[in-house]
Amino acid sequence: MTFDPRSIGKPVYEAFKELRGDRTKDDPLVKKQKSQAVELYTYLSTWGLLRLKAEEIAMKEKKDMKGKLQVIEKFFDCLEKLSERQNLGLDTLKSLDVSDYLGLTGLGLAIAQEFSFWVTAVYHDVKGED
Protein backbone atom coordinates (compact mmCIF):
# COMPACT_ATOMS: atom_id res chain seq x y z
CA MET A 1 0.00 0.00 0.00
CA THR A 2 1.33 3.43 -0.94
CA PHE A 3 1.19 6.21 1.63
CA ASP A 4 -0.41 9.38 0.31
CA PRO A 5 0.71 12.36 2.44
CA ARG A 6 -2.51 14.13 1.48
CA SER A 7 -4.60 11.51 3.28
CA ILE A 8 -4.80 13.59 6.48
CA GLY A 9 -4.91 17.04 4.88
CA LYS A 10 -7.74 16.40 2.44
CA PRO A 11 -10.53 15.63 4.94
CA VAL A 12 -9.38 18.49 7.18
CA TYR A 13 -9.37 20.98 4.30
CA GLU A 14 -12.82 19.79 3.20
CA ALA A 15 -14.11 20.12 6.78
CA PHE A 16 -12.97 23.75 6.99
CA LYS A 17 -14.35 24.63 3.57
CA GLU A 18 -17.71 23.26 4.72
CA LEU A 19 -17.57 25.00 8.11
CA ARG A 20 -16.62 28.36 6.66
CA GLY A 21 -19.10 28.17 3.82
CA ASP A 22 -19.82 31.65 2.53
CA ARG A 23 -19.53 33.35 5.92
CA THR A 24 -17.67 36.65 6.00
CA LYS A 25 -14.55 37.38 8.01
CA ASP A 26 -16.62 39.43 10.48
CA ASP A 27 -19.00 36.59 11.36
CA PRO A 28 -18.51 35.80 15.09
CA LEU A 29 -19.06 32.10 14.35
CA VAL A 30 -16.11 32.08 11.95
CA LYS A 31 -13.90 33.75 14.54
CA LYS A 32 -14.81 31.10 17.13
CA GLN A 33 -14.14 28.32 14.62
CA LYS A 34 -10.69 29.69 13.87
CA SER A 35 -9.85 30.19 17.53
CA GLN A 36 -10.84 26.65 18.45
CA ALA A 37 -8.94 25.10 15.55
CA VAL A 38 -5.75 26.95 16.49
CA GLU A 39 -6.08 25.81 20.13
CA LEU A 40 -6.95 22.20 19.32
CA TYR A 41 -3.41 20.77 19.20
CA THR A 42 -2.42 22.32 22.53
CA TYR A 43 -5.61 21.12 24.20
CA LEU A 44 -5.27 17.61 22.83
CA SER A 45 -1.58 17.30 23.70
CA THR A 46 -2.24 18.54 27.23
CA TRP A 47 -5.51 16.80 28.11
CA GLY A 48 -5.98 13.96 25.62
CA LEU A 49 -8.83 12.55 23.55
CA LEU A 50 -11.00 11.53 26.47
CA ARG A 51 -11.17 15.05 27.87
CA LEU A 52 -11.63 16.57 24.42
CA LYS A 53 -14.66 14.33 23.89
CA ALA A 54 -15.99 15.32 27.32
CA GLU A 55 -15.44 18.99 26.39
CA GLU A 56 -17.47 18.43 23.23
CA ILE A 57 -20.36 17.05 25.28
CA ALA A 58 -20.17 19.98 27.73
CA MET A 59 -20.17 22.52 24.89
CA LYS A 60 -23.48 21.17 23.61
CA GLU A 61 -25.10 22.60 26.75
CA LYS A 62 -23.89 26.15 26.02
CA LYS A 63 -25.47 28.23 23.28
CA ASP A 64 -22.50 30.56 22.75
CA MET A 65 -20.11 27.70 21.95
CA LYS A 66 -21.50 26.74 18.53
CA GLY A 67 -18.42 27.68 16.45
CA LYS A 68 -16.01 25.94 18.81
CA LEU A 69 -18.27 22.89 19.05
CA GLN A 70 -18.44 22.61 15.26
CA VAL A 71 -14.64 22.39 15.05
CA ILE A 72 -14.43 19.66 17.68
CA GLU A 73 -17.19 17.71 15.96
CA LYS A 74 -15.33 17.98 12.64
CA PHE A 75 -12.13 16.88 14.39
CA PHE A 76 -13.81 13.70 15.63
CA ASP A 77 -15.40 13.15 12.21
CA CYS A 78 -11.93 13.29 10.64
CA LEU A 79 -10.49 11.03 13.34
CA GLU A 80 -13.23 8.45 12.77
CA LYS A 81 -12.76 8.59 9.00
CA LEU A 82 -8.97 8.28 9.08
CA SER A 83 -8.83 5.68 11.86
CA GLU A 84 -11.70 3.69 10.36
CA ARG A 85 -13.28 3.55 13.82
CA GLN A 86 -16.87 4.66 14.28
CA ASN A 87 -18.69 6.09 17.29
CA LEU A 88 -15.69 7.45 19.17
CA GLY A 89 -17.71 8.42 22.21
CA LEU A 90 -16.60 8.49 25.82
CA ASP A 91 -17.47 4.84 26.41
CA THR A 92 -15.54 3.73 23.34
CA LEU A 93 -12.48 5.81 24.24
CA LYS A 94 -12.56 4.56 27.84
CA SER A 95 -12.73 0.93 26.77
CA LEU A 96 -9.84 0.96 24.28
CA ASP A 97 -6.71 -0.86 25.30
CA VAL A 98 -3.67 1.31 25.97
CA SER A 99 -1.93 0.80 22.64
CA ASP A 100 -5.11 1.54 20.66
CA TYR A 101 -5.80 4.68 22.71
CA LEU A 102 -2.23 5.92 22.32
CA GLY A 103 -2.27 5.17 18.59
CA LEU A 104 -5.55 7.03 18.21
CA THR A 105 -4.10 9.92 20.20
CA GLY A 106 -1.07 10.03 17.89
CA LEU A 107 -3.34 10.16 14.86
CA GLY A 108 -5.42 12.80 16.62
CA LEU A 109 -2.34 14.95 17.18
CA ALA A 110 -1.43 14.67 13.49
CA ILE A 111 -4.97 15.71 12.57
CA ALA A 112 -4.84 18.60 15.05
CA GLN A 113 -1.63 19.82 13.35
CA GLU A 114 -3.46 19.76 10.03
CA PHE A 115 -6.33 21.69 11.63
CA SER A 116 -3.90 24.38 12.72
CA PHE A 117 -2.42 24.66 9.24
CA TRP A 118 -5.63 24.54 7.22
CA VAL A 119 -7.55 26.93 9.44
CA THR A 120 -4.86 29.51 8.78
CA ALA A 121 -5.17 28.95 5.04
CA VAL A 122 -8.97 28.83 4.81
CA TYR A 123 -9.56 31.59 7.40
CA HIS A 124 -6.61 33.74 6.28
CA ASP A 125 -8.68 36.94 6.44
CA VAL A 126 -10.14 36.32 9.94
CA LYS A 127 -8.54 38.18 12.85
CA GLY A 128 -9.29 37.61 16.54
CA GLU A 129 -12.30 36.13 18.29
CA ASP A 130 -15.46 38.08 19.11
pLDDT at residue 114 is higher than 80: yes
User: For residue 80, what is the domain's CATH number?
Assistant: 1.10.520
The verdict on pTM exceeding 0.85 is: yes
User: Does residue 43 sit within a domain?
Assistant: yes
In this structure, of 59-63, 74-78, 84-88, the range with the lowest mean pLDDT score is: 59-63
At residue 1, does pLDDT exceed 80?
no
Domain count, the chain: 1
Q: Are 63 and 26 in contact (CB under 8 A)?
A: no
Q: Is the pLDDT of residue 130 over 90?
A: no
- Supply the range of the domain harboring residue 47: 28-122
The amino acid present at 18, given as its one-letter code, is E
Q: Is 114 within a domain?
A: yes
Residue 48 lies in a domain: yes
- Is 127 part of any domain? no
In a domain, 129, yes or no: no
Cβ-defined contacts of 63-67 (< 8 Å, 24+): 65/32, 66/29, 66/32, 67/28, 67/29, 67/30, 67/31, 67/32, 67/33, 67/35, 67/36
Give the span between the Cα atoms of 36 and 130, in whole angstroms.
12
Q: Specify whether the CB–CB gap between 27 and 123 falls below 8 A.
A: no
Report helix, strand or coil for 61: coil
